[in-house]
Amino acid sequence: MSIIRIYTDHDTTNLLFTSDNSSKIQARLAEIGVRFEQWQTGSDLSAGAQAEEVISAYRKDIDRLMQEDGYQTVDVVSLSADHPQKAELRQKFLSEHTHSEDEVRFFVAGEGLFTLHADNKVFEVLCQKGDLISVPANTPHWFDMGPNPGFIAIRLFNNPDGWVANFTGSDIAERFNRLEN
Ligand SMILES: CSCCC(=O)/C(O)=C/O
Ligand SMILES: [Fe+2]
Ligand code: NI
């Protein structure tokens, strides 16, 4: 079940809103320009699946997003709990950062905690299989896959160079929830 929790950005105890209703999640994220959708997932791929397999299973959806929204490149992050570099990979996304381009992530399998910082608030979104979430250009955010990751996400970028993180230097992410798995 996908969940949103919204806090004031300077007080981790001040929970302003929470819901597991997808329309409410969508509406609250739309307020900060974030696209959230739930899609049917046809194929049963498991975390650790090869990128080519994931891309070919979702080729039609990927092509549609590329055509409709102008995304130029696609990649796959696919991680299971037996990955030898899971701790380093978790660390890579764990601090607040921005990207200079819009990006879309679609969860083909598993789950991950995306947290966006906008409008003096923190929006924690537990994304599950079937969830599509966008991260608008220059929106500070972080992502926790947890200590025992299990997810596959397709990422679409409109920058041909793909994923570049610009770290803000803030320690805000350390004060909010982490994913326990
Ligand atoms: C769920 S995709 C991996 C995380 C990622 O791409 C990102 O930008 C996290 O901030
Ligand atoms: Fe990011
Ligand atoms: Ni504040």
> For ligand 1, is residue 141 a contact (CB within 6 Å)?
yes
**Cα separation values, 90 from 37, 100, 136, Å:** 25, 21, 21
Q: What is the CA radius of gyration of the chain?
A: 15
For residue 161, pLDDT over 80 is answered with no
Mutating to test ligand 1, I would choose from 135, 154, 159 the residue with most ligand atoms within 8 A of its C-beta, which is 135
CA 121/CA 60 separation, integer angstroms = 35
pLDDT of 89 reads: 95
- Per the DSSP assignment, residues forming a β-bridge with 124 are 5, 115
- In the structure, what pLDDT confidence band is assigned to residue 49 with cuts at 50, 70 and 90? confident
The alpha carbon dihedral of 125, 127, 132, 134 has a sign of positive
The arithmetic mean of pLDDT across residues 162-176, rounded, is 93
ipTM above 0.95, yes or no: no
Q: Is the pLDDT score of 160 beyond 80?
A: no
| Tokens linked to 34 | 């974030």
pLDDT single digits (tens) 109-135: 999 999 999 999 999 999 999 999 999
Numbered residues of the known binding site for Ni(2+) = 97, 99, 103, 141
Strand-pair category, 11-19 with 36-38: unpaired
Q: Which atom of ligand 1 is nearest to the CA of 97?
A: 10
Look up the pTM and report it.
Answer: 0.94
What's residue 158's pLDDT? Answer: 87
Mean pLDDT, rounded, of the chain: 94
Q: What is the mean pLDDT of residues 45-52?
A: 86
Average pLDDT over residues 133-157: 96
Contact 125, 171 (CB under 8 A): no
